[in-house]
Amino acid sequence: MAIQVIINIRQLINAGQHRPLLRGKELSTLPSVENAWIVIEDDTIADFGSMDSIPGTLLNHTNRTDAAGRFILPCWCDSHTHLVFAASRESEFIDKIKGLSYAEIAAKGGGILNSAKKVNALSEDELFNLAWKRLEEVSRLGTGAIEIKSGYGLSIEGELKMLRVIKKLKQKSKILIKSTFLGAHAYPGDYREDRQGYIDLITREMLPVIAREKLADYIDVFCEKGFFSPVEMETICKAGMEYGLKPKLHVNQLNSIGGIGKAIKLNAVSVDHLETMTENDTLLLSRSGTIGTLLPTAAFFLRMPFQPARELIDAGCAIALASDYNPGSSPSGNMNFVLSLSCIQMKMLPEEAINAATINGAWAMELENQSGTITKGKKANLIFTKEIPSISYLPYAFGSNLVDRVMISGEWLQ
């Protein structure tokens, strides 16, 4: 068994017992151990404690590292990404700067359909290699668990190709990965006049293969005006649930059209985006077991109002933070910047933001037993900070890379 001992850690953040899903006020409690040590056995956190009571065998262990007063956190748990895509879309970025709207860009053949054309033109290997690079980049920025969606195929072959790429990423990477089927991301051109035809394609043609090949853990629908209605979302989710896929849904990004109520009735694991919330949406969410996943970098990039994090937390909702990494609305998977934006623009406290980006993100992927806190028995997925004066400095000093080293499954990333 390989044993590693790390001593003289300024603070172990979010360390202690396993934590339940945090809601409302609970989000501001961040347990930590000051002046600490930690022991890692193979890929697992074996033990930790205070330097005051470190056993002599550990203090003198041959495989020990001196953290020299730096902080250690659990890796980020990014519970909403679209990181399998074929090409960036910076020409749309320029169009937007020049004043074109999201809808006008979509009408020009841009947006999700543009990404779908490109995914369908690439081979599975090409797509895998691009996604692998992105996964490596975000892991070096501290992400240790991630959810990845399909949704840029919008054809049987394209969707299966994306999901097979995600399956290969799961097999090859040490990062914890969950896979979500998002065939209902947009209606492809051929089905614009035949919406039921596309829903049938999803439910009758795609889902049986996805289930047979075990290609997905969750099902997602983009429930939005001009995309999928709440009733269409319900039909698609129910079909996915027959195959054991739980819903994790895109709702309330641009409009409030009843998606939240329906999602909660479907027992969705999470409802994601939430830029546009009514009082009733917030009330429903606060009384449910569904997690609200906020994606501040998408609001930032699209110049939209940020998600009302304060109202949601004050109402007692369970909140997670995620990057939404995708080429159209968040071409960055940097969870450190997500953390900064959530504090700067959404008035989340650093403690709330760290909890939302670690343990609650883990819950939003049902990976809470393996990640999200520094707890005995969980995976040794850890962020080592550079020298910083306090943990609040992390979101405060936005744009600086304050991640010194990252450990995934007990191994240092290079």
Binding partner at 328 among Fe ion, ligand NIG, none, C-beta below 5 to 8 Å by kind: ligand NIG
Q: Report the distance separating Cα 343 and Cα 41, nearest Å.
A: 35
Q: Kindly list the distances between the CA atom of residue 101 and the CA atoms of 159, 301, 345, in Å, as whole numbers in the listed order.
A: 27, 13, 23
Binding partner at 223 among ligand NIG, Fe ion, none, C-beta below 5 to 8 Å by kind: none
Residue 4 amino acid letter: Q
From the CB of 272, what's the least distance to Fe ion, in Å?
Answer: 6
Q: Per CB under 6 A, which region of 3-11, 110-118, 128-136, 402-410 contacts ligand NIG?
A: 110-118
In a 3-state reduction of DSSP, which class is residue 185? coil
Task: State yes or no: residue 120 binds ligand NIG (CB under 6 A).
Answer: no
Q: CB-based contacts of 108: which residues, under 8 Å, 6+ apart? A: 95, 100
Q: Report the distance separating Cα 295 and Cα 342, nearest Å.
A: 9
Q: Per CB under 6 A, which region of 24-32, 36-44, 234-242, 325-333 contacts ligand NIG?
A: 325-333
Is residue 384 within 8 A of residue 11, CB to CB? The reply is no
From the CB of 57, what's the least distance to ligand NIG, in Å?
Answer: 50
Name which of 240 and 327 has its Cβ closer to ligand NIG: 327
- Pull the structure tokens for residue 298: 């998408």
Name which of 54 and 357 has its Cβ closer to Fe ion: 357
Task: State yes or no: residue 220 binds Fe ion (CB under 5 A).
Answer: no
Name which of 74 and 328 has its Cβ closer to ligand NIG: 328
- Give the one residue of 324, 351, 352, 368 binding Fe ion; rule: CB under 5 A: 324
Cα atoms in the 13 Å half-sphere on the side-chain side of 141:
21
Q: Shortest CA distance to 292 belongs to which of 6, 37, 27, 98?
A: 27
Q: Per CB under 6 A, which region of 68-76, 171-179, 262-270, 322-330 contacts ligand NIG?
A: 322-330
Interface contacts to ligand NIG, rule CB under 6 A: 111-112, 115, 222, 250, 253, 298, 324, 326-329
